[in-house]
Amino acid sequence: MAQDATGTQISQEAREGHWAKTRSLTIGVLIAWFFFAFVFPWFAKELNAMSFLGFKLGYYMCVQGSLLAFVIMIWLQNYRQDKIDEEYGVQE
């Protein structure tokens, strides 16, 4: 097994800048994830007082809303991550 220790020639600053932005993006995504995964379903009873597209909102979030939000979240994150990679010249 051959290990490649330093495969990429980029400066230490670029490396750190890239990781700092990647980390912030990830944290941002996980905060959004937390809301759709836990907060909205947790308050389903309260949200049910409102309605959305003919659904009670709490129900809607559990059967469609959060699911759709997860899909969108991943695509947005990837779009942003590609930009970050390009900014620091570490794209493939």
Partner 1 sequence: MLKGGFTENLGKVYGLYTLGFLVFFALMALLETTGVGARAIGIMFLMFTIAIYALIGYLSRTMQVDAYYVAGREVPALYNGMATAADWMSGASFVALAGGIYFGGYPYLGFVVGWTGGYVLVNSLMAPYLRKFGCYTVPDFIGTRFGGNAARLCAVIILVVASFTYVTAQINATGTIASRALGIPFEVGVWFGILGILVCSMLGGMRGVTWTQVAQYIVLIIAYLVPVIWMSNAQGFGLIPHFSYGDAAQRIAELESQYGLAPAAEAVAGVRVLTTPHFDPQGGFDSWKFATLALCMMAGTASLPHILMRYFTTPSVRAARKSVGYSLFFIFLLYFTAPALATLTKLQLLDPELATAVIGKSIEDVLALEWVQNWSQVGYLAVVDQSGDGIVQLNEFFMRPDIVVLATPEIAGLPYVISGLVAAGGMAAAMSTADGLLLAIANALSHDLYYKIIDPKAETKTRLIVARVLLVGIGVAGALVASLKLTGILGAVAWAFCFANSGLFFPLVLGVWWKRANAAGAVAGMVGGFAAGSWYLYMVYAGGMEPWAGIDHLRFGIIGMPVSLICMVVVSLLTPAPSKEIQDMVDETRIPSGKTIIGH
Output the smallest distance, CB 52 to partner 1, in A. 8
Number of residues binding to partner 1, judged by CB under 8 A: 56
Output the smallest distance, CB 47 to partner 1, in A. 9
Q: Is 35 in the site for partner 1 (CB under 8 A)?
A: no
Considering only residues 59-78, where is the footprint of partner 1 by CB under 8 A?
59-60, 62-64, 66-68, 70-71, 73-75, 77-78
Cα torsion angle, 69, 74, 80, 84, sign: positive
CA distance 74 to 62: 18
Contacts of 46 (CB under 8 A, 6+ apart): 58
